[in-house]
Structure 1
């Protein structure tokens, strides 16, 4: 408020500088050079006056200084203009979808023709989409591994001209860590093209009166990048690397808080700086469980948080680095008035707390599909009642597949940034099935996606299964269904069936046990099936495993010891899981040994109760989503005897 008062005063002074010359100078008597200088000075002063007055009256965080408010105002206005331009371009691309697709593909092949990969695959000879689809096979990550390893070792012009800006770490359906090339161009497209378009869509749909000066509470936990042998930064695709000024312009948490690597510490700091700002625009997280953890921590720690806001400090029991603490506390100012407001609301209870403490918030961002659905429902029923949770983009490490269109979880393709091919789901088991293009797919049909991106992936089988729900002009609208081969992904770690099976089998090998079958479930669904309502503990994985019926020693099995072995082995096999375990975002898995014949019993139950199930084609699901299936295996736990 003080900063805006200062800007209002400066605006009044500038207004005087505009009015006084108009009143005292007879411009028509000036020479042409002097007249031009006078007009330019008048325009500049008038523009500055308008900006100062506008900023001083907009809704803004009261603790941001005047310089930051001006920088935010100018930056956000530029982003608005950029977003308007690209939104019109997106509409044009949707009308001319296939022409845009062809233009993107031909430009990409031309730019990559002189790379090692382009020479090996004859890009220079490809002159049409048909040439490309005929000459280049559908691919999986194994096809690119030798090239990416050369990039990681520092070789230039392998899959991109020069070197990439980053190598994104992920895990794929092969069970091995994947290294995905990420260029500066792709990062710029996401931040300044797709991001600005989505921002305009969200504002127009949910919050037309949104102020340009409001900030976002991003629930971000930092990962320190590693360096490849060739000196290229390596880290998750979600890792944010932007100047401190952009952190300050965009987010409620100061830069020092955006670099915390411990989930609990980062969440506490995000809460502290978010709570002191009643004008918060929205809360954003990659996954709904993160948002639930955020509000659960608020319910548990609100007294300490209110005390910190009251005194302008950070709780001494929060074990964060001394330099980070000093940097953060330098940004805090005692605010007894806000502390009293918050205390009053918290004492009323936590149902609908978000809208009560952030009355200007109209939506939140976060993925709410899959197992996250349970968290999203709990959020809507409790903490965030009245505020929709929106998934604004359809993202993968390999690229942004689509941007929000219409209802939540409906995404329009971006034909100018990816080349799409669609494999009919009935042919997805084939190695080289025929594909359809964007103008050949049908509404209501399900397909496996294959993409060509700007960073060296060509006809790449993403593993995502989508449904085409409708068209906007000539561009398909996609609804994500599931990811083939992927089991567990509550924290973005993407643990696969191969990872999990390998960890169980390798652990059992040392004990002489033989695995008959297994299935798994996220703890949120496990607890939900058991009727547990408290989701505030760390999430973890539950594995139901059946051992060989001939093994008489099953009853003597040390389940706790075996659980530790499986957990350790899974960390060795799955880099994403190991990363989340190391930073305490995921708890140790729970191993449940079930009675002999349990999975045959489950199979019979599914066949008897699922009309579409086929006895010749049905496989035991490796990821359980239905409460009745989970409960069935819980009841057959050998420890229940």
Structure 2
């Protein structure tokens, strides 16, 4: 059985925007045909692998696949990954050699996952990146008149016992830049490739900022993989702008920059004193408010690029504050397991972002997510449907089958269908499909918690306070147990003392509780099953310390996402050490059937 060549993205010139757009039109028009061919190709290649042969018994048609191959989670498949990591051949799951194990962020699930990847699949991912590259240029005028100041950071890689590289996806992308294709990077990026691939994140961040400030007039867009990581860059700028200005004024980089890659990269731009530029930057950074600081420092920037959907949505207000009216664009949705879809309307509001599926990237199936079924346990035998059969307005968890050896693998995300482009479904990313807090009968999902915190943080605005970041846990140290939220607060006014009123925080506690579902609120009645919710205010920089904790254990700065609940005892100690005040809900929420949050 021979698979049709149209199943995979063909090679094309990424500089040819018309070619990119033409291919995108083709794959979204022929969605069903491509999806059927993708599955046919994967099964014909891999039916004889140890994993699939145990289920298919020599049959590799679509019906046998759906009937006999189970829907799995990472834990169900982990033993096969461990075997490959320990030196067994790749063909226990895949007909092509596994060339790298991608390490996930490890912050959403608590423990990093290792995801198999072949060289062929990596080539497809690079083509996917090239496919979305022309979209901003199509919609944003003047973008081609400058370069991108996009902040990427290399993560130190490791090896398995058998010598197989273990890398993050960002590191794979950075390392895929070779002398032969480096011209593409140099044509697009402000910072030299050697600075982005410096293994010292602090030196790399400093020198990427220095490059961007020296060439401020040539920056047409800024960003980072995630909204949170871009805000960390802005905070880093807030701590180091005087030193950066000193470097520009003297034409000499700081002595603590010792990495030879950074020194080599920055020497191309920091070649002579420029006191005039240093004074301009000092004038802007020295103002009382940092509102619109991005626009003021980079006056020709046209947009900020970062993922701002799902749990990243809470950072949108601060991005907009620093951006000074620059549109915030979120270009694609993907994970370590699979790249999924593109945002074909980059200028849509962050809350309206939808991603159009690229059906060549994997075989996609979907489990419908119905919250009432999750709560009463009735989703034992969920129905799995094809990509083309999803319904607008419904929520689903993606189940993927890849060319790299994952079969009917649950991604753990919740996607909401918003429409179709040609014949390809479009999805909004809602949240992780994960219970983050639970004490008794209550089940608070990530989406519920995000909505509740969004409602509560509105109470901070009249007091010139903003929520910088948050996480949560359940405290069982007393009876009954209760929810604890860790909040890091800040101000839009520079150097303002953060001293929130206790009554305001108590009202925030109550608003969070009022925003949670009726099962939680009923559990709070008379404090019998669930105790009053607590907000612990953490000192400035607390969530940087939490990030450092995870980064020290292998998480990538580029891919880091603040966990919305923390169960790791060592990580909890990090947060507890930063607590400066505590407040509890002083009222019991009503428990009648009303919903302040959006239902799934």
Decide: shared fold, TM above 0.5.
yes
Say whether residues 1:468 and 2:468 are aligned partners.
Answer: no
Matches within 5 A, 1:367-378: 367-378=307-318
Matches within 5 A, 1:268-287: 268-277=206-215, 278-287=217-226
Partner of 1:519: 483
Q: Could you tell me how far 1:85 is from its partner in structure 2?
A: 2.8
Q: Could you tell me how far 1:397 is from its partner in structure 2?
A: 1.3
Matches within 5 A, 1:433-472: 433-472=382-421
Say whether residues 1:78 and 2:18 are aligned partners.
Answer: no
The superposition leaves residues 422-464 of structure 1 with CA deviations (integer Å, 9 ceiling, x where unpaired) of 2221256524311222232221112222122222112211111
Say whether residues 1:237 and 2:169 are aligned partners.
Answer: yes
Matches within 5 A, 1:197-276: 197-207=131-141, 210-211=144-145, 214-239=146-171, 240-243=174-177, 245=179, 246=182, 247-276=185-214
Q: Could you tell me how far 1:236 is from its partner in structure 2?
A: 2.2
Give the conservation status (yes or no) of the 8 Å contact 2:142–2:302.
Answer: no
Give the conservation status (yes or no) of the 8 Å contact 2:143–2:221.
Answer: no
Gapped regions of structure 1 (runs ≥ 5): 1-76, 489-493, 538-542, 545-558, 560-566, 619-641
Partner of 1:131: 64
Q: 1:138 to 1:396 in 2, by over 3 A?
A: same
Q: 1:249 to 1:100 in 2, by over 3 A?
A: same
Give the conservation status (yes or no) of the 8 Å contact 2:291–2:492.
Answer: no
Partner of 1:339, secondary structure, is helix
The superposition leaves residues 461-497 of structure 1 with CA deviations (integer Å, 9 ceiling, x where unpaired) of 1111111011112211100111022759xxxxx9xx9
More helix by share: 1
Paired with 1:186 and 1:142, the residues of 2 have a C-alpha distance of 23
Partner of 1:448, secondary structure, is strand
Partner of 1:605, secondary structure, is coil
The superposition leaves residues 262-320 of structure 1 with CA deviations (integer Å, 9 ceiling, x where unpaired) of 5443322111011111212322212212222222333343232122123332223xx34
Paired with 2:433 and 2:69, the residues of 1 have a C-alpha distance of 23
The superposition leaves residues 174-194 of structure 1 with CA deviations (integer Å, 9 ceiling, x where unpaired) of 7544211122223222222x2
Q: 1:123 to 1:235 in 2, by over 3 A?
A: farther
Partner of 1:553: none
Partner of 1:121, secondary structure, is helix
Paired with 1:217 and 1:123, the residues of 2 have a C-alpha distance of 52
Paired with 2:486 and 2:218, the residues of 1 have a C-alpha distance of 35
Give the conservation status (yes or no) of the 8 Å contact 2:473–2:485.
Answer: no
Q: Could you tell me how far 1:140 is from its partner in structure 2?
A: 0.8
Please identify, of 246-255 and 587-596, the stretch whose mean Cα deviation from structure 2 is larger. Answer: 587-596
Give the conservation status (yes or no) of the 8 Å contact 1:279–1:359.
Answer: no
Q: 1:576 to 1:459 in 2, by over 3 A?
A: farther
Q: Could you tell me how far 1:86 is from its partner in structure 2?
A: 4.0
Partner of 2:506: none
Look at both structures and tell me which one has the larger radius of gyration over its CA atoms: 1
Partner of 1:458, secondary structure, is coil
Paired with 1:294 and 1:269, the residues of 2 have a C-alpha distance of 12
Paired with 1:288 and 1:446, the residues of 2 have a C-alpha distance of 24
The superposition leaves residues 591-618 of structure 1 with CA deviations (integer Å, 9 ceiling, x where unpaired) of 779999x79x88x51635943799xx99
Q: Could you tell me how far 1:228 is from its partner in structure 2?
A: 0.3
Give the conservation status (yes or no) of the 8 Å contact 2:204–2:262.
Answer: no
Paired with 1:606 and 1:108, the residues of 2 have a C-alpha distance of 53
Q: Choose the corresponding residue for 1:392, options 331, 334, 337.
A: 331
Q: How many residues align?
A: 487
What TM-score, normalized to structure 2? Answer: 0.70
Partner of 1:151, secondary structure, is helix
